[in-house]
Structure 1
Amino acid sequence: MITKLRDVTIRQLRALASVAAGGSVTAAANKLHLTQPAVTLQLRNLQQLCGLPLLQRTSEGMTLTPAGQELYTLFERIEAAIDSCATSLDMITGRTGGRISIGAVSTAKYFVPFAISAFSKLHPGMDISLTIVNRQDIRQALRGYALDLAIMGHPPPDIELDTHLIGDHPHVVIAPTGHRLANASGLTAVDLAHEKFLSRKPGSGTRFLMEQFFEKSNLEPQIGMEMSSNETIKQAVIAGLGIAFISAHTVAVELREGRMITLDITGLPIIRQWFVVRKKDKVLLPPAQEMLDFLVANGKEFLPQAPIGRVR
């Protein structure tokens, strides 16, 4: 079996990956600019080398079998290695100072660009790619070796990662400046029981933290509206549509400008952390390693400073 696997080609693996992504041979053929018989031949040859079924038909299209998933993982590692090699060759020939691929969850967009800007001034020849997506997409990109580094608050436990602390990530309750509780101190969850909360949809990290906070008092927050982004929530709070439990880093500017306030609530802010992570078996080229070292040493400096109260 080992000998046969050494005959596997990148064309065969790309055919398998394309079918898995598109759910059909037709979709794979379109993506690869090949005919359907050509894709089918690649898959047949690959399956003969492995001696195991690689795909199965379902009501939602063709999906990978366990053996197919193993080969898909191999494909991802090979593609990552090819990209790393291309970067190394570009560095050798002087075409670039190196490429770095960074992913960050959406809340991190309030500080990560500033950190990258500072790094770029120290290393002007480097080509840096920044992708802002949700936590699930970051997880998939890490698993598939697509990212050198990722910046997030909750590293996925099912992936072996090297994890480095950047700094604290506080969460607060914000309200419009004229809110009835604006001047109150030592509030509790009970005092907020009748307030309308503007919130992200269930499944978001911030929503989960908010629900945990209320659970400690055996309460549930009243959700007035669910919104798709922190930016929309901020504007809705300023407009007086409700209050919100949110990352203090997303509202630092508005708080400093006096466009909204934080409520003085016992137990808040809730402090989480920011981390920069990389997949353990992802080989970092010198540019990415330099970025990692920079973020570990200096990342905390770029975290937004919001005027919030102390935990009581």
Structure 2
Amino acid sequence: MKKGRLRIAAVTTTKYFMPRLLGPFCAQYPGIDISLEVINRDRLLERLARNQDDIYVMGVPPDGMDIECEPFLDNSLVVLAPASHKLAHLGRTVRFAEIAREDFLVRERGSGTRLTMERLFEERGVPLRVRMELGSNEAIKQAVVGGLGLAVLSDSTIGDDHLRNEVCILDVEGFPPMVRSNCSTFGRSNCSRQDGWIMRHRR
């Protein structure tokens, strides 16, 4: 496929790596125009239900939809705390029971990161103490700096963040759990472009 259009919808956590991944594909296929919509998971699922795009990138594929799903990128979740937090200075691995006693800052309901986080706590048989819901990862990081609670975020959202000196990643037992980002396709009208992009970035 030398020319055409590839429409991609991706959840917000992918904004930290999706643009970089698209660069090599664009260089190899300069005749293909790419549109990238970075949105929250609920809006992505709405677009998926209406078959508005060619590829959908998310961490947790939905149940009950006739889609084809290909894993392509591993991502890890980490526990973020203020640099001054008591759990950051224990000199040992933090037990899960210790973070379970802390308040957490979370994304809105339906967020893939929140779903994974809720499952982790449910598997441990402990309740998740939600202090506050926030609409973006950036807001959550600022709230962590402000001492409002801990957070579980994708490691890719931290990167070379300017807040590195004000927050720390806790060494918690069972972390980091690996979350695989998935490419889902609904229908196969542009399968050569879809498969070309997915196969290039699977790892």
Bin for the TM-score computed over the shorter chain: 0.7 to 0.9
Q: Does 1:172 align with 2:75?
A: no
Q: In structure 2, do the counterparts of structure 1 residues 140 and 189 end up closer, same or farther at CA, with 3 Å as the change threshold?
A: same
Identity rate of aligned residues, in percent?
34
Q: In structure 2, do the counterparts of structure 1 residues 181 and 206 end up closer, same or farther at CA, with 3 Å as the change threshold?
A: same
Q: In structure 2, do the counterparts of structure 1 residues 102 and 216 end up closer, same or farther at CA, with 3 Å as the change threshold?
A: closer
Deviating beyond 6 angstroms after TM superposition, the runs of 4 or more aligned structure 1 residues are: none
Q: After the TM superposition, which residues 91-240 of structure 1 pair with which residues of structure 2 at under 5 Å, given as runs?
A: 97-184=3-90, 185-240=92-147
Q: In structure 2, do the counterparts of structure 1 residues 228 and 215 end up closer, same or farther at CA, with 3 Å as the change threshold?
A: same
Q: In structure 2, do the counterparts of structure 1 residues 237 and 164 end up closer, same or farther at CA, with 3 Å as the change threshold?
A: same
Q: Does 1:293 align with 2:199?
A: no
User: CA-to-partner distance for each residue in 1:17-45, whole Å, 9 max, x for gaps?
Assistant: xxxxxxxxxxxxxxxxxxxxxxxxxxxxx
User: CA-to-partner distance for each residue in 1:226-283, whole Å, 9 max, x for gaps?
Assistant: 211111001111233221112222112239944421111111111121111212x331
User: CA-to-partner distance for each residue in 1:113-137, whole Å, 9 max, x for gaps?
Assistant: 1111222122223211111122233
The 8 Å contact of residues 165 and 296 in structure 1, kept in 2 or not, is answered as no
Structure 1 stretch displaced more, 229-238 or 246-255:
246-255
The 8 Å contact of residues 115 and 299 in structure 1, kept in 2 or not, is answered as no
Q: TM-score, normalised by structure 1?
A: 0.58
Q: In structure 2, do the counterparts of structure 1 residues 109 and 242 end up closer, same or farther at CA, with 3 Å as the change threshold?
A: same
Name the Cα RMSD after superposition: 2.4
Structure 1 CA distance, aligned partners of 2:125 and 2:65?
34
- Greater helix percent: which structure? 1
Structure 2 CA distance, aligned partners of 1:137 and 1:99?
21
Q: In structure 2, do the counterparts of structure 1 residues 255 and 193 end up closer, same or farther at CA, with 3 Å as the change threshold?
A: farther
The 8 Å contact of residues 106 and 134 in structure 1, kept in 2 or not, is answered as yes
Which structure has the higher relative contact order (CA within 8 Å, separation 6+)? Answer: 2
Task: Classify the secondary structure of the residue corresponding to 2:161.
Answer: helix
Equivalenced residues, count: 202
Choose 1 or 2 for highest CA Rg. Answer: 1
Q: TM-score, normalised by structure 2?
A: 0.86
